[in-house]
Amino acid sequence: MERKRYFKKFDVEETLEIWEKSLTENKWLERRKKEIVPVSDALMRLTALPIFAKKSVPNYVSSAMDGIAVKSESAKEASERNPARLVENKDYVWLNTGEILPEEFDSVVMAEFVRELGEGMIELYSPVSPYENVRLLGEDCEFGEMIYNSGHFLMPEDITFLLAAGVEKVSVYSKPKILIVPTGNEIVEYVNSVKEGKILETNSFFIAERLKLLGAEVKVHEILPDDPQIMKNKLIPASEKFDLIISIAGSSKGSRDFTAKFIEGNGKLLVHGVNMKPGKPVVLGFLNGIPFVGLPGYPQAAFNDLEYFVLPCISRWTGIKPLEERKISANLALRVVCTPGEKHIYHGITGKIYNKYWFYPLKNISSAISSITKSNSKLVVPKNLEGINEGENIEIYIKKAIEVIDKNIIFAGSHDLLIDIIAELLKVKFGKELAIFPLGSLLGLETLRNERSHFTGIHMLDESTGAYNIPFLSGFSKDFFTLINLSYRSQGLIIKRGNPKSIKSLKDLVRDDVRFVNRQKGSGTRILLEYLLKQESIDKNLISGFNDIEYTHLGVGAKIYYELADVGVGIRAVVDAFNLDFIPLYEERYDLLFQNDFLKNNEEILKIIMSEEFKNKVNEFKGYNLRDSGKEIWQ
């Protein structure tokens, strides 16, 4: 089938200008209706008309404190040396907070400043001013006073004030009604329907919930197939019932991407394609006079387009502001590469390391929803840059409070499942977040040396001595760094359950019918593998898949589980997670390297490693030995 080209790609700023101008010209906000609702149901709604008080607040003169009502004249000269002596029911009466102030009195003295003499007599030791500790009629508002004008966003305290002022109902703007339409022949609704070639429809949930947070009323349509006629039959009638329609998928330029063509043929197409990554294939237009947004099917792309082109519009309708993102200065921990002419959005994790903020970018690919869920910040790279080098100063947007960012602990190095256990216990027991970046042992050492991480994990075999880790610490000083063992672990060949390829040793890796999956250069597993291959005189160039790279042990296990590879090298603990088999090759030592000042201020990590709870959790996995766990190795 014919593949489409983008209608014309616009820059993000130009796209926003086109979109907002069209919404204004089509009088989209005038679709808001005025609704009369009970005050108790008006929370987080935008007032459509001014609101006037139905009674004064308070509507009588009352005591603001627990104490005695007095005539200020009777105590105007009271002092420590010359106290005023008053008689109950003549010169004063006792009152509780909120009680009516009798007409003959004009002030209230707090109970703690009253000295009782007995038999209804009291003394005051300080003068009293007229109307002291008294709430006057209409102190908060007068009957008939305008409390809020139109366009006021009603918060919980506003509701309290309205109820106090006798207001029972208010006029507010209607919520925008939004229809979300998932599309695609490959999309299915239920987990049980997910088979090879099918994708579970999940985007509508996060899109709907983000819209609901801004006060929208959302309906999710049944999944529509890639059929322009069915789209026409379903969506044109629906446009009469909704204020905005959002389709998911079908917005790109593939042979079955019909969204842009559908809008062009049945409405008005404004934009098809924007110079932004992820988020390029967005569709903006009007269907039957109603705004229509076609979001990409990949979640990170859909998320970015939703944030730029949909949420601001909904915010203007409802008055609810999207979550604010504060801009701060930081340094880039890992280099990012960009396509000139496109704005790039990198979601990532920021932590404070030795008084500097460092931003670690996560995967900048349209399909990776995890980059959004794990992130606490984002970097927006202007369209004129080809990339930004590591270490450069940048401006980022943080999604969490700076106090939370400051507590983030950054681990960058060789990953192990035990690091996940430490992260969980740190969060549960001490309220600290551990961000994990599986960069491999060599890069982990580099980030720690350059003060871009708090600690690292390493398992590097020195071929000349057979020793682990210490030979690679020549650039580190014992005065400033501490090496602590976490565990010994079994490395070996990970294979399919039942070993259908009859793999028995490393020598089988060179067979024509065996597909291998490797780890990245600089990882301890890669170093160990190349050492063992040399020991057995095996030519790595003869191994099919030697350059097929994964960055974690779990990634290797997943490749084999989904039959994208037959064998890989990894730790024993991964095998049970994927119901695979294992051929042991080597026991290695996995250590943690800390900067001393950090370790001193974060002793919780060592407490966790030495705890029985940690050891019990480790024992749930096979292939670990904790005989030296928690011990200082480098002395």
Give the pairing type, strands 187-188 and 199-200. parallel
pLDDT of amino acid 325: 86
pLDDT of amino acid 251: 62
pLDDT of amino acid 323: 81
The neighbour count for residue 75, using CB atoms within 10 Å, is 24
pLDDT of amino acid 532: 94
- Confirm or reject CATH 3.40.50.10490 for domain 62-135, answering yes or no: no
Cβ contact 597:581 at 8 Å: no
Measured distance CA(422)–CA(475) in Å, rounded: 27
- Longest C-alpha distance within the chain, in Å? 110
Cis bond before residue 58 (omega within 30° of 0): yes
Per-residue three-class SS string for 442-498: HHHHHHHHCCCCCEEEECCECCCCCCECHHHCCCCCCCCEEEEEEEEEEEEEEECCC
The neighbour count for residue 205, using CB atoms within 10 Å, is 11
Cβ neighbours of residue 506 under 8 Å, at least 6 residues apart? 493, 532, 533, 536, 538, 585
The per-residue DSSP string of 400-450 comes to: S-HHHHHH-EEEEES--HHHHHHHHHHHHHH---EEEEE--HHHHHHHHHT
pLDDT of amino acid 4: 47
The Cα angle at residue 243 between residues 237 and 246, in degrees rounded to 5: 80
pLDDT of amino acid 353: 94
Token representation of residue 459: 């398992």
pLDDT of amino acid 529: 95
pTM for the model stands at: 0.82
Paired strand residues for 386: none
- Structural Rg of the chain based on CA atoms: 34
pLDDT of amino acid 151: 94
Token representation of residue 422: 């430490």
Alpha carbon separation from 621 to 318, 490, 495, 577 (Å, rounded): 51, 11, 18, 9
Measured distance CA(176)–CA(187) in Å, rounded: 27
Map residue 343 onto helix, strand or coil.
strand
CA distance between the termini of the chain: 68
**Sequence spans of domains, the chain:** 12-30+176-318, 34-58+139-173, 62-135, 326-407, 430-625
DSSP summary character for residue 310: I
Block mean pLDDT (10 aa), the chain, length 635: 58 96 96 97 96 96 96 90 93 96 95 92 92 94 96 96 97 98 86 71 94 96 91 93 94 67 93 94 95 95 96 96 90 94 95 95 88 94 93 95 93 94 96 92 94 95 90 91 96 96 96 95 91 94 95 93 95 92 95 95 95 96 95 88
Token representation of residue 7: 């209608």
Helix (H) or strand (E) holding 271: strand 267-272
Cβ neighbours of residue 541 under 8 Å, at least 6 residues apart? none
* Of 315, 294, 313, the residue nearest 305 (C-alpha): 294
Q: What is the CATH number of domain 326-407?
A: 2.40.340.10
The Cα angle at residue 240 between residues 43 and 172, in degrees rounded to 5: 20
The neighbour count for residue 602, using CB atoms within 10 Å, is 17
Measured distance CA(473)–CA(592) in Å, rounded: 12
* Domain 34-58+139-173, second-level architecture: Alpha-Beta Complex (3.90)
Burial class of 168 by CB neighbour count within 10 A (0 to 12, 13 to 18, 19+)? exposed
Measured distance CA(480)–CA(468) in Å, rounded: 20
Fold observed for domain 12-30+176-318: Molybdenum Cofactor Biosythetic Enzyme; Chain A (3.40.980)
Cβ contact 325:307 at 8 Å: no
Per-residue three-class SS string for 562-584: CCCCCEEEEECHHHHHHCCEEEE
DSSP summary character for residue 37: E
Cβ neighbours of residue 69 under 8 Å, at least 6 residues apart? 63, 92, 93, 94, 95, 101, 102, 105, 107, 108
pLDDT of amino acid 1: 40
Fold observed for domain 430-625: D-Maltodextrin-Binding Protein; domain 2 (3.40.190)
Helix (H) and strand (E) counts in the chain:
17, 37
